[in-house]
A and B are shown apart, each in its own frame.
Chain A
Amino acid sequence: DIQMTQSPSTLSASVGDRVTITCRASQSISNWLAWYQQNPGKAPKLLIYKASSLESGVPSRFSGSGSGTEFTLTISSLQPDDFATYYCQQYNSYWYTFGQGTKLEIK
Chain B
Amino acid sequence: QVHLQESGPGLVKPSQTLSLTCTVSGASISSGPYYWSWIRQPAGKELEWIGRIFSSVSTNYNPSLKSRITISGDTSKNQFSLKLSSVTAADTAVYYCARLTQLHHVFDIWGQGTMVTVSS
Seen from chain A, the residues whose Cβ lies within 8 Å of a Cβ on chain B are 1, 32, 34, 36, 42-46, 49-50, 53, 55, 87, 89, 91, 94-101
Contacts and interface: CB of A to CB of B under 8 A. Distances in A.
Contacts of B63: 1, 95
B88 to A, nearest CB: 21
A36 B47 CA distance: 11
Label chain B's interface by main secondary structure: loop
B106 A43 contact: no
Interface stretch (B8-16, B20-28, B68-76, B109-117): B109-117
B106 A49 contact: yes
Contacts of B46: 87, 98-101
A32 B103 CA distance: 11
A96 B49 contact: yes
8 contacts: A1-B63, A1-B64, A43-B111, A43-B113, A44-B110, A55-B108, A95-B63, A97-B49
Contact of A49 (B60, B104, B112, B113): B104
